[in-house]
């Protein structure tokens, strides 16, 4: 008989239940930044668990950037304010372990970057626009060094490209967009680094990328958000589509329509 196939069950450890309840209290606002958890002894009583369970839970909460816990502190652990760094770390872990394909990551970048550039065209300051121009100038200098056989030009180009996208995301003013953009970009770049390095004509790839960035910046300067967003998606597609599985390209093309 072909009955159902069940997976082995995993016993939930007591400290995980403690972590879950504390996270819920923080998320719902019952525990606020600057506030404190009850003492270790009090937590042992309330959760009806051992001291080692409480300490394990506090270690996990601290690793997630939610609390600061000092051994021997007579007070309870302090609840920390929202930290972009903690979110950045957990998002990076999520994106790495979720077995996302390159196609899905590039698609998400197309969505994110287009939204960031749409906001930047409306909200950017003159200083932020100057930062974008400076980043493109640095990209151009790196491309010229590459043509001349400069060894570190690829690294310099990548850093300048990163500075450009950071300036765009900051100009949009949305912290979550900034963090997501940064996380997804760094993972995508790592995934295709070897293939980019092996490109027979890296110089033309760099020059094409610079042209795309100049078009986007002109639209941002003119305040034309929809055009800037469209150019951004097209630039992303042109740069990455060749590295994405053929079967996933139609999903990327859907974002160009």
pLDDT, tens digit (0-9, with 9 covering 90-100), for 189-207: 888 877 777 777 888 888 9
Q: What is the DSSP letter of 202?
A: H
User: Does 232 have pLDDT greater than 60?
Assistant: yes
Look up the domain containing 39 and give its range: 14-79
d(CA 3, CA 129): 64
> Does a structural domain hold residue 4?
no
> Does a structural domain hold residue 158?
yes
With cut-offs at 50, 70 and 90, classify the pLDDT of residue 43: very high
> Does a structural domain hold residue 8?
no
> Does a structural domain hold residue 183?
yes
pTM score: 0.69
> Does a structural domain hold residue 59?
yes
pLDDT tens figures, 73-94: 778 899 998 777 777 777 777 7
Pair 210, 190 in one domain? yes
Pair 169, 200 in one domain? yes
User: In this structure, are residues 37 and 43 in contact, taking their beta carbons and an 8 Å threshold?
Assistant: yes
Domain endpoint, select from 35, 60, 79: 79
Pair 129, 214 in one domain? yes
Contacts of 78 (CB under 8 A, 6+ apart): 34, 35, 36, 67, 68, 69
d(CA 13, CA 202): 52
Greatest mean pLDDT among 5-9, 40-44, 80-84, 89-93 lies in: 40-44
Pair 39, 97 in one domain? no
Pair 189, 163 in one domain? yes
């Amino acid at each position: 008989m072909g009955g159902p196939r069940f997976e082995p069950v995993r016993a939930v450890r007591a400290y995980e239940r403690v972590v879950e309840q504390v996270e819920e209290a923080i998320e719902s606002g019952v525990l606020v930044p600057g506030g404190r958890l009850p003492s270790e002894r009090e937590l042992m009583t309330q959760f009806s668990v051992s001291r080692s369970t409480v300490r394990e839970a506090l270690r996990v909460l601290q690793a997630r950037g939610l609390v600061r816990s000092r051994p021997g502190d007579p007070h309870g652990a302090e609840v920390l304010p929202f930290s972009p760094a903690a979110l950045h770390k957990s998002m990076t872990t999520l994106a790495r372990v979720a077995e996302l394909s390159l196609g899905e990551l590039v698609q998400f970048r197309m969505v994110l970057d287009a939204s960031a550039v749409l906001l930047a065209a409306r909200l950017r300051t003159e200083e932020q626009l100057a930062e974008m121009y400076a980043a493109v100038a640095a990209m151009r200098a790196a491309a010229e060094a590459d043509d001349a056989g400069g060894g570190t030009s690829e690294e310099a180009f990548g850093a300048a490209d990163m500075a450009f996208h950071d300036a765009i995301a900051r100009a949009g003013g949305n912290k979550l967009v900034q963090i997501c953009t940064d996380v997804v970009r760094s993972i995508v770049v790592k995934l295709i680094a070897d293939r980019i390095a092996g490109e027979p004509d890296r110089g033309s790839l760099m020059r094409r990328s610079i042209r795309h960035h100049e078009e986007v910046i002109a639209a941002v300067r003119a305040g034309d958000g929809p055009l800037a967003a469209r150019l951004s998606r097209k630039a992303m597609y042109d740069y990455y589509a060749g590295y994405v599985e053929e079967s996933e390209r139609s999903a990327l093309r859907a974002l160009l329509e």
